[in-house]
Amino acid sequence: MSGGINLAVIGATGAVGQEMLKILAERNFPLKNLLVAADPRETGQKLKFKDQELTVQTASPEFFAQADVALFAVESNISRNLAPVAMENKCLVIDNSNAFRMEEKVPLVVPEVNPEDIKLHQGLIASPNCSTIIMAVAINPIHQAAGIERIVVSTYQAVSGAGAAGIDELTEAVAAYQGGSNIEPIIFQHPIAFNVIPHIDVFEANDYTREEMKMVFETRKIMHADEMRIAATAVRVPVYRSHSEAISIETRIPITPEEARNILQNAPGIVVLDQPGENKYPMPLFTADSDDVFVGRIRKDISVDNGIVLWVAADQVRKGAATNTIQIAEYVVSHNLF
């Protein structure tokens, strides 16, 4: 690899890490060298990237000293341990976990929404929760045009949001159900086959789950809207890939569905699929493996004066995680911010 930067992917053997490698190749990310690291037990494992074979290494001071930028696709506790090591070795960290998102001096970025915040980094940039990213891309153009005052959102989240084990549990549960038996849930709180579970992550003192409160706090931070009123309900559904969201928005300035549709059609990262008379609207089955956020069912919220309702679907592994992180890295490289 000639030109470009020295890039590291931490957690390269996991679902998001593997997706990162795939997307880096698809987007022809400007690479000089690509380094990969994972669990020390996987050191020496071989991974394919384009026509090359990469050897999994252990993340160490020496490893990070070879990289300009590191994309983290690991659990929060690992990010907390390794990010300082990377930063001490002058390697910019772009982190996918929840470890640093709400820290005051860490930019929380969705490139279609607040790319200018990237310039404020002090060696660390956070990528938001997948459901937050999907919603922020969809609503920000309307916020810029009419000022959003209140959001009520319900998410319909795929089992792959819980990793490979979540996918396996759905597959096994469906097979067991069809065979006339049941399996005890391990990953989810209740059986996931032919069911919906209004419980993602742990419940907080206010009876909202941590997943729901992430959407509240992260959206406010990304959009620089501390007073925005947001209520979220996060639901796990028996879908393999792509999250969906029903979003009701109350705006400061009146906006018609037609105006909202036109605004969204001209916004970056959005595909408007809104032909209900022809049964055309976003669905998980048809939005997987895409980097776009699909928006449809755009209509007036008839319960409030200045209300718009949207139905949104997007691939949470790509735009909700891997692609968003890589887009941040692309901005960093193009503006020489590492």
Say if domain 132-316 classifies as CATH 3.30.360.10: yes
Catalytic residue check, 199: no
Q: According to the model, what pLDDT value does residue 2 have?
A: 45
What pTM value is reported for the model?
0.96
Q: According to the model, what pLDDT value does residue 164 have?
A: 87
Per-residue pLDDT tens listing for the chain (338 residues):
446 999 999 999 999 999 999 999 999 999 999 999 999 999 999 999 999 999 999 999 999 999 999 999 999 999 999 999 999 999 999 999 999 999 999 999 999 999 999 999 999 999 999 999 999 999 999 999 999 999 999 999 999 999 889 999 999 999 999 999 988 999 999 999 999 999 999 999 999 999 999 999 999 999 999 999 999 999 999 999 999 999 999 999 999 999 999 999 999 999 999 999 999 999 999 999 999 999 999 999 999 999 999 999 999 999 999 999 999 999 999 999 98
Catalytic residue check, 243: yes
Query: What is the CATH superfamily name and number for domain 5-128+321-334?
Result: NAD(P)-binding Rossmann-like Domain (3.40.50.720)
From 91, 121, 143, 243, active-site residue? 243
Q: According to the model, what pLDDT value does residue 269 have?
A: 97
From 130, 143, 190, 224, active-site residue? 130
Q: According to the model, what pLDDT value does residue 3 have?
A: 65
Give ranges for CATH 3.40.50.720 in the chain: 5-128+321-334
Can you give the three-state secondary structure of the chain, one letter per residue? CCCCEEEEEECCCCHHHHHHHHHHHHCCCCEEEEEEECCHHHCCCEEEECCEEEEEECCCHHHHCCCCEEEECCCHHHHHHHHHHHHHCCCEEEECCCCCCCCCCCCECCCCCCHHHHHHCCCEEECCCHHHHHHHHHHHHHHHHHCEEEEEEEEEECHHHHCHHHHHHHHHHHHHHHCCCCCCCCCCCCCCCCCCECCCCCECCCCCEHHHHHHHHHHHHHHCCCCCEEEEEEEECCCCCCEEEEEEEEECCCCCHHHHHHHHHCCCCEEECCEHHHCECCCHHHHCCCCCEEEEEEEECCCCCCEEEEEEEECCCHHHHHHHHHHHHHHHHHCCCC
Give ranges for CATH 3.30.360.10 in the chain: 132-316
